Amino acid sequence: MGSHLSIQLAVIGGGAAGFMGAITAAERGVRSVLIFEATQKTLEKVRISGGGRCNITNACWDPTELAPNYPRGEIALRGSFSRFATGDAVSWFENKGLNLIEEEDGRIFPKSNSSQEVIDVLSKSAQKAGVKCFTQMAVTKIDYVKQKGFILRFRDKRLITAQTVLIATGGNPSGHKLAVSLGHSLIKPNPSLFSLKLKSPWLESCAGISVKNASLKLLLDKKEFKQKGTILVTHKGLSGPSILRLTSFAARNLYSQNYKGDLYINWVNENNESIRNYLKDFRQTFANNTIKNNYPFKMIPKRLWVIFLNRVSIDPSNRWSSLSTNDEIKLSEILGNNHNIVNGKGPFGEEFVTAGGIKLNQVNFKSMESRICRGLYFAGEVLDIDGITGGFNFQHCWTSAWIAGHAIASEARNKN
C-alpha cells in the first residue's frame, strides 16, 4: 500500500459491522474497499463471543418483536429491521455456506459451535468481493475536504484519501473521537449487560444455584425496572439471563447511581396471598412431614430453601404442624419479596456491550449516513444502540452495516 492512496470506501474497524458493511458495498459494485483495523487481529469479538461459539442472532423473526430487545435504539431500529432482520441475516450466512442451529431459548449459533466458521465466512466473502483488510492500521484523524472527500491520517503517518468512510469501531473510544472531531455528539458510554454484586453474604453458600421464572424489581432513585426469568446465584451476587436483561435496561441509571440500589426478588413468582395459601395448605396436609424435606415450591433448590428457613429463624427439622402464623408471614416475605442491597456490578456479560455512543438523531437510519457530514456512515455499536443478551447485538451489527453498504453502493453508482 502506497504512502498516499485514493480509494472509494474506507471502513474503520475490522469487526462484525465493518466486515458486513465492506462486503455489502463491494458486492454491489463499490471499488477499492479497504478495512482498517487498529489491532493485530480482525473479528476478535466474533471469535470470543458466546464462549467461542458466536451467537450470531436470535430467532425473533418478527421485526416488530425484535426492536423491543434494544434498551437504547428501539424506535430507530423499527424501520431498519423492516429491511433486514433475523431471517435476512440467517439467509445471508446460509447462502454463504454457514450451517446454523437454533437453540431452545432462541439463540442461533453455527451448527459446528465454532466462531471460527463465522470468521471464515466473513473473511472469505470479503476476499471474494475484492475487499482488502489491513491490521495494525490505527486511524488517528479524519479531515473532511469538500468535493474531495476524506483524508485519513494514520498512526504511522500515512495518508489515505477516501470518497466515503464507514465508522464501525464498536464500543472503542477511537471511533467516538473521530466522530466527535467531525461534529457529532456523544452519549457517554457506560457498561451494559453485567451481573450484580449484592450485600447478601448468606447467598454465598448458594453459589451455582439457578432458579427459573423468578421475578425481579430493581429500584434506583425512585425509578423501577422489572424482569422475569432465570437467575443464577454467584459467589458475589446474581447473574443469569434475567439479571443481564435487567442491567441492560437499567444500565444508565445504575451508572448514575454508582451501581447502588435495592433489588427485590420474588423467587417463586407468586403473589403474597398465594404463597401464604400454599404454606397453610402444606401445614394442614403435611402436618407430620419435616419442613426441610417436603415443601411447596419445587422450583427452589433444597439448599436455597433451607437457607430461607434459617434466615427467618425456622428450624428446618421442625414439622409443618409447628409452623406459626408469624412464621408463615416471614417465610412468605422472603420468598415473594426478598430485599437485597445492590452494592456494585460484577463482570461483563459475554458480549462486552456498552450503552452510549453517537447520538441517533445525527444519523439517517434509512442509509446510516451522518446528517452532519455527507459521505460519512456509521454501523454497529459505535452508535447509541445496544441490545440485551442473546444475539441481539450482532443482529444490529448485521442490519446497520447491510443498510450502510447498500446506501454507499447506491451513492457510488449515482456519482458515476
Give yes or no for residue 351 having a pLDDT over 60. Answer: no
- Strands 149-154, 159-167: pairing kind: antiparallel
Instruction: Give the domain-ending residue among 348, 364, 390.
Output: 348
Distance CA 144, CA 149 (A): 6
Reduced to 3 states, what is the DSSP secondary structure of residue 105?
coil
Tell me the CA distances in angstroms from 63 to 67, 296, 363, 387, 411, one per residue in order.
Answer: 6, 40, 20, 14, 26
Is residue 37 located within the same domain as residue 131? yes
Q: How confident is the model at residue 353 (pLDDT cuts 50, 70, 90)?
A: confident
Distance CA 295, CA 279 (A): 8
Is residue 110 located within the same domain as residue 231? no
Give yes or no for residue 3 having a pLDDT over 60. Answer: no
Alpha helices in 286-391 (DSSP H): 302-311, 325-336
Q: How confident is the model at residue 240 (pLDDT cuts 50, 70, 90)?
A: very high
Average pLDDT over residues 216-228: 97
Is residue 169 located within the same domain as residue 282? no
Phi and psi torsions of 207, nearest 5°? -55, 135
Is residue 243 located within the same domain as residue 118? no
Average predicted confidence (pLDDT) for the chain: 95
Q: Please enumerate in sequence order all residues whose Cβ is within 8 A of that of 2, keeping only pairs 6 or more positions apart, or say none.
A: none
Is residue 169 located within the same domain as residue 211? no
The predicted structure's pLDDT at residue 126: 98
Q: What string of DSSP letters covers 32-68?
A: SEEEE-SSS-SSHHHHHHHHHT---EE---SHHHHGG
Q: What is the pTM of this model?
A: 0.93
The predicted structure's pLDDT at residue 156: 93
Phi and psi torsions of 413, nearest 5°? -65, -40
Instruction: Give the domain-ending residue among 306, 321, 348.
Output: 348
User: How would you label 123-139 residue by residue, b for 16+ Cβ within 10 Å and e otherwise?
Assistant: bebbeebebebeeebeb
383: domain CATH number is 3.50.50.60
Tell me the CA distances in angstroms from 52 to 44, 49, 56, one per residue in order.
Answer: 10, 5, 11
Is residue 375 located within the same domain as residue 280? no
**Host domain of residue 142:** 4-190+350-415
Q: How confident is the model at residue 146 (pLDDT cuts 50, 70, 90)?
A: confident
Average pLDDT over residues 201-208: 90
The predicted structure's pLDDT at residue 414: 87
Instruction: Give the domain-ending residue among 317, 348, 379.
Output: 348
Is residue 175 located within the same domain as residue 39? yes
pLDDT tens for each residue of 269-284: 999 999 999 999 999 9
Is residue 138 located within the same domain as residue 287? no
Share of the chain above pLDDT 70, in %: 98
- C-beta atoms surrounding 62 within 10 Å: 11
pLDDT tens for each residue of 291-313: 999 999 999 999 999 999 999 99
pLDDT tens for each residue of 5-58: 899 999 999 999 999 999 999 999 999 999 999 999 999 999 999 889 999 999
Q: How many domains does the chain divide into? A: 2
Is residue 361 located within the same domain as residue 335? no
CB of 16 within 8 A of CB of 43? yes
Give yes or no for residue 229 having a pLDDT over 80. Answer: yes
H or E segment to which residue 47 belongs = helix 44-52
Phi and psi torsions of 149, nearest 5°? 110, -135
Is residue 322 located within the same domain as residue 225? yes
DSSP secondary structure code for residue 299 in this structure? T
Is residue 356 located within the same domain as residue 325? no
The predicted structure's pLDDT at residue 415: 80
Give yes or no for residue 352 having a pLDDT over 90. Answer: no
Give yes or no for residue 145 having a pLDDT over 80. Answer: yes
Q: How confident is the model at residue 163 (pLDDT cuts 50, 70, 90)?
A: very high
The predicted structure's pLDDT at residue 17: 98
Is residue 258 located within the same domain as residue 317? yes
pLDDT tens for each residue of 365-408: 999 999 999 999 999 999 999 999 999 999 999 999 999 999 99
